[in-house]
Structure 1
Amino acid sequence: MVRALRIAAMVEAASLTVLLANLATVHAPAVSSLAGPVHGTAYLAVIAAVWLAPTGAASGPRWRAAVPGIGGLIALRRLDRRGADPSTSPTDNPQKGTADGHPL
């Protein structure tokens, strides 16, 4: 379920970027007609994925998912923190934390 959330969050953020860029530049109706429903569907998919995530039992990630545009990324970060093992440091697991070993 986290993989689906990750994909939906990226699509949501990317489609919002496309919509805002279109609005700031040429405002082409075709772009809005395509990216608008994609963004709305991704937004709903993010909310559903967070509610169905096994580690999303607490209300924190659920409320964060409701933020339009970047809520999926924020909720995903919160779920990643909840799923992390506190006994491992960022240097033990290179996928957690930044490239220089600092926690996120």
Structure 2
Amino acid sequence: MNPRRTLHVLGSVELGTLALLLLNLVTVHHRTISGVLGPVHGLAYTATIITAVLLAGGRTQVWLRAFVPGIGGLLAARAVGSRPVPE
């Protein structure tokens, strides 16, 4: 899996869990849903940042974009592009 695809998947999971958390908040506000989705969103957010830092290859703009909650992973995926990361 290329770096852009990895960040895109993590960013999508992060955005999806955030959307579900907000939907739960404005509708039924069920504690069990929040209790499950909250940690999943936190893990996805943290994994997105760590992955962006590892894949940045010295490009600060990549990992800085990952810090934006919700869409940071998708922004970082766009910044990574599909070029190979130097080792």
- TM-score, scaled to structure 1: 0.71
SS in 1 for 2:19: helix
SS in 1 for 2:69: coil
SS in 1 for 2:32: helix
In the alignment, which of 28, 38, 51 is matched to residue 30 of structure 2? 28
More helix by share: 2
Percent identity, aligned pairs only, is: 43
Question: What's the CA shift string for 1:56-78, capped at 9, x where partnerless?
Answer: 42100111001111100111111
1 or 2 for the larger relative contact order (CA 8 Å, sep ≥6)?
2
- TM-score, scaled to structure 2: 0.84
SS in 1 for 2:81: helix
The 5 A counterparts of 1:2-81 are: 2=3, 3-53=5-55, 55-80=56-81
Separation in 2 of the partners of 1:44 and 1:31? 20
TM-fit CA distance, 1:20: 0.6
Give the partner amino acid of 2:31: P
Number of aligned residues: 82
TM-fit CA distance, 1:8: 1.3
Unaligned runs of 5+ in 2: none
Give the partner amino acid of 1:25: T
